[in-house]
Chain A
Amino acid sequence: MEGDIVQMGAYIGAGLACMGMGGAAMGVGNVAGNFLAGALRNPSAAGGQTATLFIGIAFAEALGIFSFLVALLLMFAV
């Protein structure tokens, strides 16, 4: 009984943790969208900034990956 409750809590927690991925999605979308807006304004400067774009996306995405990791930990390791 007690273990079932723990497991239930873990699964609910895993589901809640997955909400963080929505935040990461918004962050990545924000980065890419703003890059596109800037690139359309000044296309000649866009080429040199793709590295920055990828770094920004990677940073934003990493936080989503962290929440996914928490979900995995709750499901498989707790």
Chain B
Amino acid sequence: MASEAKAAESASGLPQLDFSTFGNQIFWLAVALVVLYFILSRIALPRIAAVLAERQGTITNDLAAAEEMRTRATEAEEAYKKALADAKAEAQKIIAETKAAIRQELDRANAEADAEIKARTAEGEKQIAEIRAGALDAVKAVAADVAGELVAAMGQKPDGRSVNAAVNARMKG
């Protein structure tokens, strides 16, 4: 039976070991591989490599553009901050100036008012002094009169000069 099996081998043995088909398989494999190799190395792989490189380039460019945009945004922010700080400083300056002006005005008005008050006070004092002086004279006159009358009432002839002198002496004393 073994010999029979050997005889009928090519039909039912392992197809992989059927050497009569090897030439055919190897030939078509060679054709397929050569065709595939040329397709890949001539068309497909350079094309894919180009697409990938192009994409890489685009990504790099976009990244650079984004980086530039970011720099510009930062710059704009810096400028804004600077403008804001300037404006604040300006406002501060204006406030200080205004304050100083107001203070100056106020001081001047105060000084004027003080001077006025002083002048008025001096005038008042002068008037009071005049009045006081006037009053002293009057008192002197009245005192002399009263002294003269008293002397007369006591039956003597009043001597005007000595009465005045006495009054003056009393007033001083």
Query: Are B2 and A3 within 8 A (Cβ)?
Result: yes
Separation of A1 and B13 alpha carbons in the complex (Å): 21
A72: chain B residues at CB < 8 Å are 14
- Contact residues, A31-78 vs B (CB, 8 A): 72-73, 76-77
Interface of A is mostly: helix
Query: Taking the nearest CB of chain A, how far is it from the CB of B3, in angstroms?
Result: 7
B35: chain A residues at CB < 8 Å are none
- Contact residues, B1-42 vs A (CB, 8 A): 1-5, 12-14, 17
Mask, A5-21, CB within 8 Å of B = 1, is 01100000000000000
Query: Taking the nearest CB of chain A, how far is it from the CB of B52, in angstroms?
Result: 22
Query: Are B5 and A3 within 8 A (Cβ)?
Result: yes
A4: chain B residues at CB < 8 Å are 1
- Contact residues, B94-130 vs A (CB, 8 A): none
Contact of A6 among B2, B12, B13, B14 (CB under 8 A): B2
